[in-house]
Structure 1
Amino acid sequence: MVGTAEGFNDRWNVNAMAPILASRRRLLTSVGGVTAAGVLLPIVERSSEPERVVLPEFRRRGDRDDTAALMRAAETGRPIHAPAGRYLVSMTAAENLPPTFRLKGDGAKATVFARSYSRPSPFILHADSGSPNPRDNFMDYRIQGLSFEDDVAQRGFSEFDYLVMLNGVTGALIEGVEFRGFRGDGLYIGSSTVRSQERHNAEITVRACHFDGMNANTRNAISVLDCDGLVVEGCTFWNVGRTGGPLPPDPMNPFTGVQSPGAIDIEPEPTGFSRVQNVSIRNNLFIGGGGYAVTLNMFENTGKAFQRRFSISNNRVLDRYGGFSARGFASGSDASIPYDIAILDNVAERCRKPFLVDGMHGLRVTNNRFIDCAEEGELGYHRRNFEVKLASNEFLRVGYERGFALWIRSSDGLVLRENTFLDCGLRDGSRGIPIAFVSGVSTNVSLLENIVENRSGRTTEATTVFAEASVDRRTLTVSGNSVRGPVDRGPTALF
């Protein structure tokens, strides 16, 4: 049966429903919409984010730069939009961003925050919660689509001048940001500006950012003193870090003074409370500069101060001094807490030194490629390593300046498994030794299914033991290793 208008009216009593329908239209108009003909539009959920304020609107006559305008905008508690343009900003340790801060530009090339030199100040942006308790941390920081800039080319190196410093912050996203020409560190994730003042950071993500050291006369792109849950992904690092040299430090010459740690430096201080854990550094590109692409400078783990669970994966390192460095103070005792570090699926190419591992307990180097590196990778330097494993790595033409691919000093529990050493050694073929035990005592060593191959005539001997070194044969395990091409196996029963 087809219903009529009259039947419809009788059944639903349109007149009685009119006030309800009108009320519903008003509601839908506020969240969705109604056309002029009264047709309901789809409901669109409104964003809960407050309306943004526009930074230039907070400028006032008499301001010496844009610092005061930025602070006025930040004090509203609303997200800040910085339209395309150049903003001069600097902050002292006494000046502080608010507990919640969101700043967005129109793109890293369009919106530039440059350091203001109208007064002495070490930061462009500075945030410090003022509390050792993570519950009091500043929350929900967002910095996106802009650049920070200093003038290292004209003003030179200055270790304690930073672009952005965060102390006591939880839940920060730094995305699509360029850090250019920094004289000290680009981004400092710290534990206050005063040594031994306790702060803790958590859940910080640095994504799709670009760090340009310009002339490699900087300190680090990212320094981390304290953080639980750090992700650095999809970033590029160009010409970051001073190379250093034998001459006294000259701020205008990057080949003098002390070498910078590198692009990303995990550097907790021996304060008794620093904590760095759950760190992932992945899918980044490092080109040029002094120091290492990633440096881990650790202290011995204790109950309150610890460094653990690091993953460094799928990064590419080109034309730098070094690939990866991990230094610590592991004791190897039963009570020692492993650092739990994984360096995997990376490529280090045309670096002077592929890696340095010293004083580590619990470190894995897996499925990496080290290509055309001038010097050898080093396991051990000043301190003994414990439970270090190298597996499924490729060493291609490594050691063309000194003739070695891998130097091993004192170690306990070292495993070399399924690594390939191809054409490692001096280019003239006078010395090429992929694996060398150079000093100290190594115990519980396992050499399993490694391949040494000589195609170009560089490699002469698979392994050697220097006079200053010894390998405990009672705890040595050797199995399945092979040589290809004209290569001497080296000391009996070692390969």
Structure 2
Amino acid sequence: MTYASLAEAVDGFKQDADRTRTFSNGGPTDTYTTVDGTQVPSVQKFLADKDAEINVAANGILAQATTQAGIATTEAGNAADSANSASTYATTASTSATNASDSAAAAATSASNAAATLAGAAKSADLANNRDTAKGAALIGSAIPQSSSGITLPSSFDVLIKSAPINLLRALPGGYVADGSVDYSSYVQRVYDYLRDFGGGEVIVPHNMSILVGNLVTYQNIHTRGYDPSAVLLVKPGSYGISLNPGSGGSSDPSTNARNVRFSGFTLQGQVATAGFSEQVHLLNLNAFSYLEMEDLIIAGFQGDGVYCGSSNVAATERHNLRFSATRVLFNGVNNQNRNGISFIDIDGALVDDCEFQNCTRYNMPGAIDMEPNGDAWGIIRNVTIRKRKFLNNGGNVGEVSVLVPATVTSAPKNVTMEDCTSYNYVGTGSVFSFVANRQPTSTSEDASFSVIRVTGKTGYQPYSIMGAKRGRIQGCDFTDYTQSAIMGYTTAVQGVRDIESECNRLTRVGSVQGTGLRVGYADYFRSTRDKLIDCGTGTAGLSNGIDFISGLSSYVSFDGLEVSAPTGKTLVAIQKEAAHAFSANTNRLMAANLNSLASNFQAEESDLYVSAYLPVVVGASTAGAGTYTVQNGRYYRISKRVFFKVRLSVAAGHTGTGLIQVSLPLPAAAVGGDNIVTLGATTVNGLSVSGGCTARLNSAATANGVQGAARIYYGATGSYAQATIPATAFEVEFSGEYTTT
């Protein structure tokens, strides 16, 4: 196929990738003939013919681009001169090879040599198939004045290869101002649209300038970057800054998401200080993406969110986001009159690393980082890691890092991690870490698998709040000076927790207003290991608890190595139990605790500290019967499956039982041998007619008072022990022993 002119040929090449590759990747000796007989060299031949000049120019430009971002204005001016020279060469190439050489030499030796085009092309030209080339082969045919987006192009370097950088200075009109006072949104948008048409590229935000923009739209494979914070995009009040798939853009199928979008090295500045709060006005409005990265940014003064990772901007519209990362980004809300630093409405795979959040969030908005689907069944929050981050002077009513998933969302939040973070001077009414899943955790429900690791907090409202979560851990954290207690499960079953581990955490002066360091509500399989609570509470009776079990039910609660202390008298009770809380004491454990002589109302059958009470009874081996007791004391404790107990009974005359005296046990007995009998210990009796010393023997096959196993009383007789039977008169029995429970 032939064309009437080079311009027509170029248009054809742009629509035909095979022909474009043929022209761009032609050999170093290839030439092409147009319909009017003009000989046009391939890009390779042009570069080969002028290799020395191009190398000198490109090397100089690349050095300047990496070391002197501030020369962008001069480069842009010289770029136009260079482009005109190159155009002259292109139009006279058919009549004079010498003129072509002179024109190329002029382009190569100009001060900037079309820096915004050639330098970028030399770095990352794709030649329409994503393959890097050694030199920026971006010259195709004669001048094309405009792309389909309407942006004016250089007259010679007219078709920019995918990924070639464009400095925004090239898009601004003559006589532009750099102080953010004139709206250049339409000019800047042409650059994004232009790069969209050519498959992607780089938008360069110029150094030492403030460009006023609003409601910009970026696309996949586009990298917006600057070289330092003096490169500023100032966002108009009431406008999104930069959007990806705004409105209902994108689709519900993540395979069609916009991919490979980057932001780096510049400042995106909102105007909350003068325009005030506006909940839905976000600086970065991002929807339906895969592989989105931001680094070395300043995101400041947002009216709504600094970064919004949404499920579109239209209600009940399904969109999903995959693989987000933010590294070394400063989120500065300026005056705590915004929504969130980052909102994750839908996310699967996110890393927020080495960032800082300061002065974020209005008093009635969630917090610095909020993971909160809109309530649609398809919402996803999973695989999010927040690490090495600093939070300073933030507010809100949910948390610095919060997960809040409505019950209407099908999938529970999963694999959310906060580690190696610090929170200072929190001024809101939420937690450092809040996880609320709004679903009752059971043995078969989905694991949340959250982690809070090595988080330090100083001065705030609440250390953490965990509700509706199954499986998670809080480890190595240190919280000091918080007015409200930490919460582990709350007062309804859907706010309960299950399979949560707390290890080596320290709460100091927590609950200084509310009165408790840690409140526990509905909780199953909560395990605390080597946790410390120091001076938690107010020092006033009723408001001075290290740990308080509030309204709810709990089972399998374990404390190992717990330490509760009150160096200044703020804590009066180490572990409190409210009347509305029900323990399953037979499943609980308290071992190696140091409560520093503070009172405790915890109930744990397995304990080396607690001695539990029970009411032993006497029954007959033949007829159980019943009796009246003037003394009825039983005490026991358990370590693992070993039970240690002591009994003292005074039985009034007239017990109705018959046969061998049997005394009930505190816990069921395991089988102890072939005859199921083992001696417990010596027994003191009174009121029995016996001829020798007495002993108590465990019979695990017997049953007394509904408990498997019983202690039977024997006395010494000639050559053997004889059974002591229930007398008609009053009698006393006292003994102690140990045995293995089931």
TM-score (norm 2): 0.56
Corresponding residue for residue 283 of structure 1: 388
Structure 1 pair 210–299 and aligned structure 2 pair: CA distance change class (3 A) = same
Pairing 1:138-177 to 2, within 5 Å after superposition? 138-177=258-297
> What's the offset of the Cα at 1:50?
3.3
Q: Shift in Å at residue 477 of structure 1?
A: 2.1
Superposed displacement of residue 330, structure 1 = 2.7
Q: Who is 2:510 aligned against?
A: 398
Q: Which residue of 1 aligns with 2:202?
A: 79
Higher helix share: 2
CA distances 1:270-307 after superposition (whole Å, capped 9, x unpaired): 222222221110000001122321001124598x7452
Please, which of 415, 418, 422 is the counterpart of residue 316 of structure 1? Answer: 422
Matching residue's letter, 1:51: A
Matches within 5 A, 1:55-204: 55-60=168-173, 65-74=183-192, 75-76=194-195, 77-84=200-207, 85-91=209-215, 96-108=217-229, 110-117=230-237, 122-128=239-245, 130-204=250-324
With 308-317 and 192-201 compared, the bigger mean Cα shift is at: 192-201
Which structure has the higher relative contact order (CA within 8 Å, separation 6+)?
Answer: 1
Aligned equivalents of 1:86, 1:188: Cα separation in 2: 23
2:530 match? 418
Query: Judging changes above 3 Å, is the alpha-carbon distance between structure 1 residues 398 and 334 closer, same or farther for their aligned structure 2 residues?
Result: closer
- CA deviations 1:21-76 (Å, max 9, x no partner) are xx9x979x68x989xxxxxxxxxx96538331111211247997222222211122
Contact 1:232 / 1:281 at 8 angstroms: preserved in 2? yes
Contact 2:588 2:603 (8 Å CA) reproduced: no
| Structure 2, gaps ≥5 residues long | 1-44, 57-121, 125-131, 133-161, 177-181, 611-742
From the superposition, tell whether residues 429 and 285 of structure 1 become closer, same or farther in structure 2 (CA, over 3 Å): farther
- The alpha-carbon deviation at position 430 of structure 1 amounts to 8.2
- Contact kept, 8 Å, 2:441 with 2:468, in 1: the verdict is no
Give the structure with higher Rg (CA): 2
Question: Secondary structure of 1:462's partner?
Answer: strand
User: Which runs of structure 2 are paired with 1:149-298 in the superposition (5 Å)?
Assistant: 149-243=269-363, 259-291=364-396, 292-298=399-405
Query: Structure 1 residue runs of 4+, over 3 Å off?
Result: 45-50, 60-64, 299-302, 427-431, 489-495
- Paired position in structure 1 for 2:600: 489
Distance change in 2, residues 1:58/1:26 (3 Å): closer
Q: Structure 2 counterpart of 1:343, which letter?
A: V
The within-5 A match list for 1:356-435 is: 356-381=465-490, 382=492, 383-426=495-538, 431-435=543-547
* TM-superposition CA deviations, 1:371-427 (whole Å, max 9, x none): 111211012235222222211101112122232100111122222221011222226
CA contact (8 A) 1:146 1:178 kept: yes
* TM-score, length of structure 1 as denominator length: 0.82
C-alpha distance 430-276 of structure 1, shift in aligned 2 (>3 A) = closer
Give the 3 Å change call, closer, same or farther, for CA 207–352 of structure 1 in structure 2.
same
Aligned letter for 2:538? Answer: L
In 2, Cα distance between equivalents of 1:82 and 1:301:
43
Cα distance between partner residues in 1 of 2:335 and 2:123: 47
SS of the aligned residue for 2:191 comes to helix
Q: In the alignment, residue 212 of structure 2 is paired with which amino acid?
A: L
CA contact (8 A) 1:443 1:476 kept: yes
Q: In 2, Cα distance between the equivalents of 1:323 and 1:295?
A: 8
Q: Deviations over 1:209-246 (max 9, x none)?
A: 11111111111000001122100011111111122xxx
CA distance in 1, matches of 2:465, 2:362: 18
CA distance 1:356–1:51, change in 2 (3 Å): same
CA RMSD in angstroms comes to 2.8
2:413 aligned partner:
307
Structure 1 counterpart of 2:566: 454
Letter in 1 for 2:211: Y
Matches within 5 A, 1:8-19: none
Structure 1 residues 336 and 300: alpha-carbon distance in aligned structure 2, compared to 1, 3 A threshold? farther
User: Between the two proteins, what is the percent identity of the paired residues?
Assistant: 24
Match of 1:11 in 2: none
Q: How many residues in Structure 1 have an aligned counterpart in Structure 2?
A: 438
Structure 1 residue 448 displacement after superposition: 1.9
